[in-house]
Amino acid sequence: MEKGFLDKVEGIAVLFYYNYGGLPYLLDVKVDKHLFRALAQYWNPAYSCLLLRR
């Protein structure tokens, strides 16, 4: 029975990684608050990208 359970858990893990990629690893990244605020000024929600103009 335990083998079937482990196969299910492994399948769920593979499916999660397929859908979300490396997202869980990003949760452990320390973010510089000031850098994040500076980048947020250039975020364009309509295009879901950063607009960096000269």
Summarised one tens digit per residue, pLDDT across range 10-33 is 888 888 888 887 777 777 788 899
User: Quick check: 51 and 42 in contact, CB under 8 A?
Assistant: yes
Is this structure's pTM higher than 0.85? no
| Predicted local confidence at residue 54, as pLDDT | 66
What was the pLDDT predicted at 34?
93
CA of residue 7 relative to chain centroid, distance: 25
pLDDT tens digit string along 33-52? Answer: 998 888 888 888 887 888 87
Residues 6+ away with beta carbon under 8 Å from 49: 43
For residue 5, pLDDT over 90 is answered with: no
Confidence check: pLDDT of 1 > 80: no
